[in-house]
Chain A
Amino acid sequence: MNTLILRTVAPPITALMLVFSVFVLLRGHNEPGGGFIGGLIAASALAIYGIAYGVSAVRRAIRFHPMSIAGFGLLLSTLSGFVSLFAGVPFMTGLWIYPSFFGVEVPLATVISFDIGVYFVVVGSIASIALALEERETD
């Protein structure tokens, strides 16, 4: 879509939405949010960028094929489930560690990596559909 307003506004909006999507993803465990919603926001961001600048610009920007991103997410989520294998507890049991960075304790868990996997699956699949639909023979 070749409008000046959209072209001017699209990059900052896309960037903001992507940052916001990560924020939503990470806060999801205690506040409203999570991987699914974060993924939808990120996919919308990519769709907006695609409408403004064309599909090939988006494809260049994200480097990987969206379906590969989704596949990576699925793999990450599955592996997060298998971590419990080494701890001798049932599949998908959440495991937590509390390392501290610069004096701040950061709780990390297989649940978080699982949610990140969900995020990637949603971004990848939805963006893949949206981009394929936006793609024009004349693009």
Chain B
Amino acid sequence: MSAATMGAGSRREFSAVSVGEVLPAKTVHIDRARLVQYAGASLDRNPIHWDERFAVKVGLPNVIAHGMFTMGAAVTVVTDWAGDAGAVVRYGTRFTKPVVVPYETGADVVFSATVTALDEATRQATVEISALCGTDKVLGRATALVQLA
């Protein structure tokens, strides 16, 4: 299984992509149930992500989302666009601000992304992702390198 044959037939064509292309955005609603689901799936059961009393006791304003949940949800904007979840060869981010998740309202995070560079030789695209909760940038320098067809 080589990098060139993986994702056969489903991945977006390199030649169809241009620098500056804006990917379809996505808004994700986060509530406590969502965080408990992620805690179970990821095995990150830190109570700051589901237990309000504990979160407040350690100095947080409220329960906060797992940074890795936000990172994982953000990259779906890229994989949906690329046509194959296996197309991401490198993905990194900084966790700049926590997503605070109040019991009553939850939180909405808006993910958007733009193609910022293309490499003809490798047929790879660099995609920069933005994640906004209200006016807070919750991810910093979130960048995915995507292997296109």
A, B from the same assembly: no
